[in-house]
Amino acid sequence: MRIAEIYLGNLAYNIAQIRNNLRPGVKICAAVKADAYGHGAVRCAKTVIECGVEFLSVATVDEGIELREAGISHPILVLSLCDAEEMDALVKNNLTPLVGDVEYIDLIEKAAKKIFNSKSEKNSEGAISANQEKFIVHLAVDTGMGRIGCLPCDAKDLAKKIAASQFISLGGVCTHFASADETSKKYRDFAQSQVEKFSAAINSIRAEKIDAGIVHCSSSAALLDRPEWQFNMVRPGIILYGYNAGKITSEYLSQKGIKFDIKPVMALVTNVSALRHFTKGMSVSYGCTWTSDKETKIAVLPIGYADGLLCRSSPGIEVAINGKKYPVRGRVCMDQCMAEIGMKSDVKRFDRAVIFGPEESGALCTAQDLADAQGTIPYEILTCVSKRVKRVYL
């Protein structure tokens, strides 16, 4: 058994916690990219929409199309650049791209002209229809992340180019922070410099009598730690799914007088497929990296690195079986791993084993605990849970 239990009630709870920390009128753009951080994009998108979220964001055109084909008509931002052959599908499905240079804007405009001139009818929820006047884009400003977007000094000229177009229009302006999830003065100063550059770019656009549209820059960390940077939309990601953004923890926020409590949404669950009796000196798994120093029992669990439990998980992690923690021994295999349960354990074949999750799942650790043990971040733990792990929504 390999199951990812998705606690949609916890997702709704987290949305409410985010909303409680927003200034009046600020919209939420929920990140459902990477299959909603491994939780299932369609179901999670529908849940956050029911909770009043106004926008969604994805990383690819295909991710956006999946939502459109599921009947979702909400505005969908595509946060990464798409290929030339994806431009028509981007426009046809009314997915809102980030643009940041002349060549890319020209490609988007060319695709929009083609689609609008064909007067194509709506073929799925939210897609371009014959009566839509222009295709909406958001201008990305690179204030220090160094990935995509124009320099702040070029923002007004690109905004003017978009405003002059017959086929595209400026729906918003955005940037992305590089260090908002850190708390040291060095990183806070860098984030401050980013928002100052961003504000200057916005002001330069407005000075040209161009409506900047929806202004947004804050993802999970900044929207909580620096509420003055919320502008009129925020883009929460990891906090939707129950984990803190870097060092902007609940404890850190509490010290600032900010109440913020979130719950993990995913539990990674398996069961005990076999029990093995070990005598002293027996080893387990590839490379014989663990050898028993006493008589003991090993529980075999049918979950491995092809499911998202990475090789580097062991040594260091423990699984919960019947309310107790047991250490994983030896190397994690592609399809299985092994935990030492000892001679006195009451563990039986087919007992439920929880790798991580919220308390109500029976888990005794979270994805953050696994991340800490592996020297990584909870984002990686969650998004590595593979497609062959069945998602069950609760």
The answer to whether 37 and 378 have CB atoms below 8 angstroms apart is no
Structure tokens at 22: 């927003």
Instruction: Read off the pLDDT band of 121 (50, 70, 90).
Output: very low
Mean pLDDT to the nearest integer, 10-17: 98
Which residue of the set 7, 27, 33, 92 is catalytic?
Answer: 33
Percentage of residues in the chain having pLDDT higher than 90: 92
Nearest alpha carbon to residue 103 among 81, 86, 118: 81
Measured from the Cβ of residue 109, the count of other Cβ atoms closer than 10 Å reads 21
**Active-site entry in 259, 280, 286, 387:** 286
User: Active site includes 13?
Assistant: no
Alpha helices in 297-366 (DSSP H): none
Q: What's the pTM?
A: 0.94
Does the structure show a pLDDT above 60 at 170? yes
Q: Among this protein's residues, is 197 annotated catalytic?
A: no
Mean pLDDT of 132-145: 94
Mean pLDDT confidence for 254-279:
96
